[in-house]
Amino acid sequence: MKQATVKFVLDDKITEVNFSDRPGLKPTTTLLNWLRSIQGHKGVKEGCGQGDCGACTVVIAETTSGGRLLYKAINSCLVFLPMIHGKQVITVENLSIKEGKKKKLHPVQQMLVETYGIQCGYCTPGMVMSLFALFKNHNNPSDEIIRDGFTGNLCRCTGYRPIMEAARKACIGNGVDHFTGKEKEIIKLLNEIKCDSKTIAIKTDRQTYLKPFTLIEAMRLKKEYPDATLINGSTDVALKQTKHKEILNLIIDVSGVEEIRFIREEKDKIVIGAGTSLEEVKKMSQTKLPSLFDMLKVFGSLQIRNLGTIGGNIATASPIGDTLPLLFALGASLTLNSNSSNRTITGEDFITGYRQTVLRKDELITEVNIPVNNPETKIATYKISKRRDLDISSVSGAFRLKIHNWKVTDIALIFGGMAVRTMHATKTEKFLKGKKWSRTIVEEAMKVLAEEFSPITDARAGATFRRLAARNLLMKFYLETMPGI
């Protein structure tokens, strides 16, 4: 029998939310709003409601295959309550402990006080939780890691110098704190929840929310409910509710399907489960796919990457989706599964138009297959946006080049933000192929590229700027490939 109860660990004990007993509670109620509706957890704040400011940051802990807990900072404004089933939720109120009649601050809280890293206090709970996640995951972190950890947290009062200083001083104890001694008990509680793998089915007057825990069940539900909205991290879909006030009538949440969360190395390719978080992909790619790592360094924030998945980013088919141009350049293919079929299609053939794909209504993306490219092949990715971090691309580009005897034998120039979908600059590619890879030829190719697209003018950039930026990215790629050739 299907259940309408969501279970998770909060305040070191299992918390159950039975939607059948709570007629006013929606399945798409966010974790943020639920926390603020109960006693003792109102420290979490809402700022932007769309994952930009970090005031809503909390930490979730999940069990790993190695039998330990993994701590992740997330934006609670983007997480629907059923998504945290089987996880531990940690808020700012959980960090301090009582010693006798006195309250002892957690090391991250204490260091923020000592370095004067707080002022108005509105952003502070989220800042504290991001610092707590750093504390649990990194010992003596570099400034680069610290900056990345705070990319998703906005502070308009104090400034980041004392906050950075607090992080340097706090993250020196190998993550050992009062949570460490409780980990075995927390893992036991989480495993107890996971023992029940029945599909969660929450139905209200206006909404149906289905959360399967196996791939077979997910595909069955997708066939039964072909028009359902599919979510995993919900970093895109949640905005329909929080930003556009839409009612999401029917949702299939596959975030609990472990079978699509993996990274596997094979002889000639790397296979990534579609449900793998972008942060996990980023960690892997640092040594295996450096061009992908470079792109993910400026993808959203740590909180967003901890939630968002590679399959979800592809499935949105956004014309400015950051992963798509590079996946095209890498020659990636997608595995699409349903109860009746299994097929593989190239990333380029997957996108058919503005937010349109070949994905059938009963299919799911289950795998992303990335070929291992020849070391002689040059691959690079670029992103142009109004700010470096946590911003949407105005123009993005991913290029692949192979030359022999100084002549171009293979070239791919793929752009986002230049058309209704991610596209090759086919005329420019044709112009360059077979010619000498030289500045003179590239400057001529830039003229061809300038006429190849008809980009729009919008809030992010004008059409003229986009054409100029695309041309300049081609020159940048040329200049960066010359020294190594």
349, 367: one domain: yes
Are 406 and 465 found together in one domain? yes
Q: Please state, rounded to an integer, the average pLDDT across all residues of the chain.
A: 95
Q: What is the pLDDT of residue 261?
A: 97
Q: Give pLDDT tens digits for 79-112.
A: 999 999 999 999 999 999 988 889 999 999 999 9
Among the three residues 177, 197, 212, which one is the final residue of a domain in this structure?
177
pLDDT of res. 1: 43
Beta partners for residue 104, in sequence order: 97
Q: Is residue 377 part of a domain?
A: no
Structure tokens at 288: 């295996």
Per-residue pLDDT reduced to its tens digit, 197-219: 999 999 999 999 999 999 999 99
Last residue of a domain, one of 157, 177, 197: 177
What would the pLDDT profile of 372-401 be if each residue is shown by its tens digit? 988 899 999 999 999 888 899 999 999 999
Q: Give residue-wise pLDDT tens across range 156-212.
A: 787 889 999 999 999 999 999 999 999 999 999 999 999 999 999 999 999 999 999
The helix/strand/coil state of 435 is coil
Q: What is the pLDDT of residue 65?
A: 83
Q: Is 219 helix (H, G, I), strand (E, B) or coil?
A: helix
Q: SS3 of 305, please?
A: helix
**Residues 28-48: pLDDT tens digits?**
999 999 999 999 999 999 999
Domain check: are 35 and 169 in the same one? no
For residue 159, the model assigns a pLDDT of 83
For residues 50 and 187, state if they share a domain.
yes
User: What residues make up the domain containing 226?
Assistant: 5-94+181-253
Which has the closest alpha carbon to 366: 330, 348, 342? 342
Single pTM value for the model = 0.95
Examine the pLDDT at 283 and tell me if it is beyond 80.
yes
Secondary structure element (H or E) that encloses residue 370, with its range: strand 364-371
Same-domain status, 411 and 362: no
CA 429 to chain centre: 31
CA distance 394 to 109: 38
Same domain, 84 and 131: no
**221 and 359 belong to one structural domain:** no
Number of domains in the chain: 4
Q: Tens digit of pLDDT for each residue in 221-255?
A: 999 999 999 999 999 999 999 988 999 999 999 99
pLDDT (tens digit, 9 = 90+) per residue, 322-351? 899 999 999 999 999 999 999 999 999 999
102 lies in some domain = no
- Digit-coded pLDDT (tens) for 268-280: 999 999 999 999 9
CATH code of the domain in which 332 resides = 3.30.465.10
Of 200, 225, 253, at which residue does a domain stop?
253
CATH number of the domain that residue 47 is part of: 3.10.20.30
Verify that 80 and 187 share a domain, yes or no.
Answer: yes
Query: What's the pLDDT score for residue 271?
Result: 98
Q: What is the pLDDT of residue 484?
A: 56
**Quick count: other Cβ atoms within 10 Å of Cβ 101?**
5
Given a cut of 70, whether residue 291 has pLDDT beyond it is yes
Assess whether 129 and 113 both reside in one domain: yes
> Quick one: which of 390, 395, 408 has its CA closest to 455?
395
Q: Which long-range contacts (CB under 8 A, 24 or more apart) does 254-258 make?
A: 254/212, 254/218, 254/230, 254/364, 255/83, 255/211, 255/231, 256/85, 256/86, 256/211, 256/212, 256/213, 257/212, 257/213, 257/214, 257/215, 257/218, 258/213
* Residues 450-469, mean pLDDT to the nearest whole number: 95
**Same domain membership, residue 210 and residue 157:** no
CATH number, residue 171:
1.10.150.120
Do 189 and 86 reside in the same domain of the chain?
Answer: yes
Residue 59 has pLDDT above 80, yes or no: yes
What mean pLDDT is predicted for residues 424-443?
97
Residue 375: what pLDDT? 87
Specify the pLDDT at position 483.
59
What is the CATH number for 446?
A: 3.30.390.50
Residue 100 domain-assigned (yes or no): no
Do residue 359 and residue 417 come from a single domain?
A: no
At 158 the pLDDT is 78
